[in-house]
Amino acid sequence: MAPKGENRFAYDVARDYDRGRSLPAEVLEECCRGIVEATGLRPGAMVLDAGAGTGVLAGSLVWQDYRYLGIDASPEMLRRFGWKSVDIVQGDLRRVPLVDGCIDLVVAFRVFGVVRGWRHAIRECVRALKPEAHLVAGRVARNSGSLADFIRVERNQLLREAGIATDRPGANDGEVELELSHTMEQTAGIGNVDFIVETTPRQLLDQNLSGWRISELDDGVRDRLRSRLAEIVKGRTGGLDVAVEQPAALQLDVYRRR
Ligand SMILES: C[S@@+](CC[C@H](N)C(=O)[O-])C[C@H]1O[C@@H](n2cnc3c(N)ncnc32)[C@H](O)[C@@H]1O
Query: Please, what is the average pLDDT of the chain?
Result: 91
What string of pLDDT tens digits covers the 258 residues of the chain?
A: 444 446 778 877 888 888 888 899 999 999 999 999 999 999 999 999 999 999 998 878 777 789 999 999 999 999 999 888 889 999 999 999 999 999 999 999 999 999 999 999 999 999 999 999 999 999 999 888 899 999 999 999 999 998 888 888 899 989 999 999 999 999 987 889 999 999 999 999 998 988 777 877 888 888 999 999 999 999 999 999 999 999 999 999 999 999
Q: Where are the alpha helices (DSSP H) in 114-166?
A: 118-128, 147-161
pTM, entire model: 0.92
Residue closest to 181 by CA, chosen among 119, 252, 139: 119
Rounded Cα distance, 230 and 56, in Å: 29
Residue closest to 135 by CA, chosen among 148, 126, 146, 124: 126
Q: If DSSP codes are grouped into helix, strand and coil, which group holds residue 36? A: helix
244 lines ligand 1 (CB under 6 A): no
110 lines ligand 1 (CB under 6 A): yes
Q: What radius of gyration, in Å, describes the C-alpha atoms of the chain?
A: 19
Atom of ligand 1 nearest to the CA of 107: 6
pLDDT digits (tens, 9 = 90+) for 145-168: 899 999 999 999 999 998 888 888
Helix 147-161, helix 201-208: angle, nearest 10: 40
Rounded Cα distance, 174 and 180, in Å: 10
CA of 235 to the centre of ligand 1 (A): 34
10 lines ligand 1 (CB under 6 A): no
Atom of ligand 1 nearest to the CA of 115: 16
pLDDT at 6: 62
pLDDT at 19: 85
CA of 74 to the centre of ligand 1 (A): 7
pLDDT digits (tens, 9 = 90+) for 58-80: 878 777 789 999 999 999 999 99
77 lines ligand 1 (CB under 6 A): yes
State which of 74, 88, 250 you would mutate to test the pocket of ligand 1, scoring each by most atoms of that ligand within 8 A of its C-beta: 74
CA of 238 to the centre of ligand 1 (A): 36
55 lines ligand 1 (CB under 6 A): no
pLDDT at 144: 87
